[in-house]
Amino acid sequence: MIPKLETRKEQKTVKAFENDIALINEHAKLWGCTAAEVIHRMCEELRKQVYLQELGESFESVVANTEQFAALQAENQAWDCTLADGLDNAT
């Protein structure tokens, strides 16, 4: 089930292809929500997908640059030692 929107903002009319409108309406009916909520959820999923894609591309760029990747590995090693600092139960 799709989560309900916590805050409702002004809704606008958008043009879409007929088969896309049918899909949105089908999911709205299935999930018991409005078409606007389905579109909102789709946009949120797209934002996440784009973010992860860009993150992956950035990491690939760092890995391709041997100097940057060596610096990243050195920083990771420096932070890894904090796992053994005896503060497991610190809050």
Q: What is the mean pLDDT of residues 4-21?
A: 82
Residue 69: CA atoms inside 13 Å, Cβ hemisphere, count? Answer: 9
What tokens does 86 get?
């005896």
What is the reported pLDDT for 42? 97
What is the reported pLDDT for 81? 80
What tokens does 3 get?
């989560």
Domain ranges of the chain: 18-82
Instruction: Tell me which of 26-30, 49-53, 69-73 is least confident.
Output: 69-73
Q: What is the mean pLDDT of residues 59-82?
A: 91
What is the reported pLDDT for 56? 97
H/E stretch holding 86: none
Rounded to 5 degrees, what are φ and ψ at 17?
Answer: -70, 150
